[in-house]
Amino acid sequence: MRFDTVPMPPSVQERPRDQRGYPVPAITPWQGEDPQFALTDYGRSADCARNRLCSVCGTPMPAGPVWRVVGGTESAGIAEALAAGRSYRNLAPTLEGPGHRACMLYASMVCPYLARPNARRGTSAERPDELTAHVVRGAVRGTTGAVVGFADFEYAVTASQVLFRFLNLVEYLPHEVSDSHLDELRAELAARPATRGQDQPR
Ligand SMILES: [Zn+2]
């Protein structure tokens, strides 16, 4: 979807824009006047990790759950694990950092690079998450990605990369079409009107 057809979280409105007016994520490197949307900037990503900043809007994330956008492969892995009565665990590190719920719902609809299918599937023998088990029926097939909430995350800043790992899935919102999360985003923004710079209390 075009960025201007989706309600924009207040903290995203504060981001610098590219020449089309498209908001530029906090972890995106710039080359002169041109943001490099397909890339993740090492220094910016390390700054977000160390200071618990949202990778989309760059403002602080409060204690509690964090969200990310996953691609189709990982989304299918989550759906299959939950449908089979297992909770989901994927300890494979990713270059993509966490963000606010509203920011990730927004990004899932307007930013194709946040849904890269680069993650791997993982499972565990634990009990399914009762919060999300009802959502996954019918979502095992056909999902192109998902907005996923996790209770916690870890990070490592190596000499060349910033790696993230996400722990304890708390929310699973698969999307089959590009505007799947429009109503969810509207509800999130209405429920948590953010003040400028200091973001959603969650
Ligand atoms: Zn944010």
Distance 83 CA to ligand 1 centre (A): 30
The b-or-e profile of 75-101 (16+ CB within 10 A means b, else e) is bbbbbbbbeeebbbbbeebbebbbbbb
Distance 56 CA to ligand 1 centre (A): 5
Report the amino acid identity of residue 159.
A
Query: Which residues, at least 6 apart from 126, have a Cβ–Cβ distance to it below 8 Å?
Result: 86, 87, 89
Distance 126 CA to ligand 1 centre (A): 31
List the chain pLDDT tens, one digit each, 202 residues. 667 788 999 999 999 999 888 899 999 999 999 999 888 999 999 999 999 999 999 999 999 999 999 988 889 899 999 999 988 988 889 999 999 999 999 998 887 555 443 332 222 223 344 334 334 433 444 467 899 999 999 999 999 999 999 999 999 999 876 677 888 999 999 998 765 444 545 4
Distance 177 CA to ligand 1 centre (A): 22
Distance spanning both ends of the chain, measured CA to CA: 26
Q: Domains of the chain: which residue ranges?
A: 61-191
| The model's pTM | 0.78
